[in-house]
Amino acid sequence: MAPKLPPQHSLQHSSSAVAGGQSQEGQSHYPHAAQPKGLMRWLLTTNHKEIGSLYLIFSLTMFFVGGIFALVVRAELFQPGLQLVEPEFFNQMTTMHGLIMVFAAVMPAFTGLANWMIPLQIGAPDMALPRLNNFSFWLLPVAFTLLLSTLFMPGGGPNFGWTFYAPLSTTYAPASTTFFILALHMAGISSILGAINIIATILNMRAPGMRMMDMPLFVWTWLITAFLLIAVMPVLAGVITMMLMDINFGTSFFDAAGGGDPVLFQHLFWFFGHPEVYIMILPAFGIVSAIIPTFARKPLFGYASMVYATGAIALLSFLVWAHHMFIVGLPLTAELFFMYSTMLIAVPTGVKVFNWVTTLFRGSISFEPPMLFALAFVVLFTIGGFSGLMLAIAPADFQYHDTYFVVAHFHYVLVPGAIFAIMAGVYYWLPKWTGHYPNERLAQCHFWCSIIGVNLTFFPMHFAGLAGMPRRIPDYALQFADFNLLSSIGAFFFGASQLLFVLVVVLCVRGGQKAPAKAWEGAVDLEWSVPSPAPLHTFETPPVFHRAQSHD
């Protein structure tokens, strides 16, 4: 008889009686030893749901850590003058804010969602390599404890921007840089191993009858993202290894004195860096592509185009890297090539936006919290895309580069872009994870406060940049004062609003209106066929997949 696991956590509810018929609870093929409890359970778990939750909790914590660094920056920039921190520390704050948000908040959040949802969406019992999965996660707290500890080392932490250009980050860097490199190596290994796991799962463990073109778009976008990760994280590893060698072993990869070239660093970094930003947005596209059809009660418009567009974006992302380097002194031919390729990548991105809007057209639309965030994503990410298109025009970029115009652009695509998509996904799937609906009133409040906060913070930055304010400065000329005042107010407001998100999540885990298996009326994918909350083990026997509609 099925051993009944004590319900320790509402996320882990595993009563065999509630099994939706798709799986035979407890008759797992791998007999469990006595289940460890407490800390050891979480240290040793190989379950994709538990690991998914670990990633998400880690990411949320780091989101606040990175957010506090941003608030230190915005507090100093509230007014002209140096009032609160020294420029030396300010540079550490801007650097760490970027590193933490990119590597410890956004990427792990998407990985957490992938861990939770990919097996459920393809009808697999778990990820392909569950123990590797555990290792991938636990690398992260180690890596980021190390990274954060550099702030307390003599000479301070990394202070050369999250893009860490040489020679500022090699010859002129603080002593802690070697630890920064080690931390980044660990985070990189974590991402790579996670990507291998995801590809292996998606390619080999889909339910019988589910072809590639039947997969939900979240699975597709993660598959493509995983390929990008495997292609470019090793390049990052190569670059930081070269840095390590320049700093400690007397090589001259990036040092003109020894025959090297600082610009080589930029080429290598951005060869990783540009696909990296697509790594941070493609899963968001997948989430939004699940949510909008659900709450418009209408199938996603142009499924095949969406898949091809995502693939096109991924391929093109390898050909645009030097648009971050337009003012470095590239030869004219190169400059033109990268301008054209960058302009071109706007096309598939635009196609995706048109497809979402057409999904809405003649739908039957309701505005639950996941939908609110998904709709805001479409509008605000597109605005970020517009400033990106302006940046692509190379001659104009000579005036935009390294100003707050660029800061505005990437914050629009990352905050109301990636972050809003993550929050939309969390609100969307919380009923599946916990068995409860998130508190609608509080979530709406979170939404409206976030919208106001995000726009108040980042919209004025466009103007500050156009007026001539450079990036990464702790003090500024008087003509930028009004814009900075607004941004700082917006930043604190936005930061405070995110506490509402934590509140909603915590309350939802503990209780709330009960959610059925199919929590949302218009939801169609496979995860909605298992109970809410999802039992610890699902799809131990693969489900028979019936195509709801043809995607051909």
Shortest gap between Cβ of 146 and other proteins (angstroms)?
Answer: 17
Angle of helix 107-122 versus helix 177-204 axis, rounded to 10:
10
Catalytic residue flag (residue 191): yes
- The pair of structure tokens assigned to 70 is 């941003």
- Report the nearest approach of other proteins to the CB of residue 527 (Å): 20
Among 45, 59, 111, 190, the active-site one is: 190
Known catalytic membership, residue 278 = yes
Q: Which is nearer to other proteins, 82 or 142 (CB)?
A: 82
Q: Is the N-terminal amide bond of 167 cis, ω within 30° of 0?
A: yes
Pick between residue 150 and residue 434 the one whose CB is nearest to other proteins: 150
CA distance 412 to 378: 11
3-state secondary structure of 436: strand
Closest to other proteins by CB, 89 vs 492, is 89
Beta-carbon contacts of residue 211 (< 8 Å; ≥ 6 apart)? none
Strand, coil or helix: what is 403?
strand
CB of 144 to other proteins, least distance (A): 22
Would you call 352 a catalytic residue per the annotation?
Answer: yes
| Between 142 and 334, CB nearer to other proteins | 334
Enumerate residues 6+ apart whose C-beta is below 8 A from 428.
287, 290, 291, 294, 370, 520
CB of 166 to other proteins, least distance (A): 8
Question: Which listed residue (28, 162, 163, 440) is catalytic?
Answer: 162
CA distance 98 to 280: 13
391 vs 174: CA distance, rounded Å: 32
436 counts as catalytic: no
Decide: residue 137, CB within 10 A, 0-12 exposed, 13-18 middle, 19+ buried: buried
At closest approach, how far in Å is the CB of 538 from other proteins? 17
**Residue 161's CB: how many other CB atoms inside 10 A?**
16
Tell me, yes or no, if 32 is annotated catalytic: no
Instruction: In angstroms, give the least distance from the CB of 174 to other proteins.
Output: 5
Q: How far is the CB of 90 from other proteins (least distance, A)?
A: 9
The whole-angstrom separation of Cα 264 and Cα 266 is: 5
DSSP states of 496-543: HHHHHHHHHHHHHHH--SB--SS-STT--SGGGGS-SSPPSS--SSPP
Q: Which amino acid is at 323?
A: H
CB 509 within 8 A of CB 434: yes
We find the least distance from the C-beta atom of residue 256 to other proteins, in angstroms, to be 2
Query: Which of the residues 25, 50, 76, 126 is marked catalytic?
Result: 126
Annotated active-site residue 252? The verdict is no
Nearer to other proteins, 64 or 463 (CB): 463
Reply yes or no: is the peptide bond before residue 533 cis, omega within 30 of 0.
yes
> Which member of 185, 297, 471, 518 is catalytic?
471
274 included as an active-site residue: yes
Whether 41 sits among the annotated catalytic residues: the reply is no
Tokens (6 digits) for 50: 């538990």
Q: Which is nearer to other proteins, 506 or 549 (CB)?
A: 549
Q: From residue 162, give the alpha-carbon distance in Å to each of 54, 96, 103, 187, 199.
A: 25, 7, 10, 14, 28
Cβ closer to other proteins: 143 or 195? 195
Q: Which is nearer to other proteins, 186 or 200 (CB)?
A: 200
Given 323, 401, 409, 411, which residue is catalytic?
323
Cβ atoms 21, 533 nearer than 8 A:
no
Active site residue 162: yes
Minimum CB–partner distance for residue 37 and other proteins (Å): 30
- The whole-angstrom separation of Cα 5 and Cα 50 is 15
Nearer Cβ to other proteins (56/330) = 330
Catalytic member of 45, 59, 150, 289: 289
Distance CA 170, CA 177 (A): 8
Residues 215/206, Cβ–Cβ less than 8 Å: yes
48 carries an active-site annotation: no
Per the annotation, the verdict on 190 as an active-site residue is yes
323 annotated active-site: yes
Beta carbon nearer to other proteins, 403 or 498: 403
- H/E run at residue 75: helix 48-76
- Its sign, for the CA torsion 476, 480, 481, 487, is negative
* Count of alpha carbons within 13 angstroms of residue 11, beta-carbon side: 20
- Burial class from Cβ neighbours inside 10 Å (0-12, 13-18, 19+) for residue 550 reads exposed
Options 246, 276, 368, 397, the catalytic residue: 276
Closest distance of CB 66 from other proteins, Å: 19
Nearest approach, Cβ of residue 373 and other proteins (Å): 14
Q: Which is nearer to other proteins, 477 or 499 (CB)?
A: 477
**Token pair of 535, please?**
């039992």
User: Catalytic site residue 289?
Assistant: yes
User: Which amino acid is present at 271?
Assistant: F
116, 220, 270, 278: which one is catalytic?
278
Catalytic residue numbers?
97, 126, 162, 190-191, 274, 276, 278, 289, 323-324, 349, 352, 471
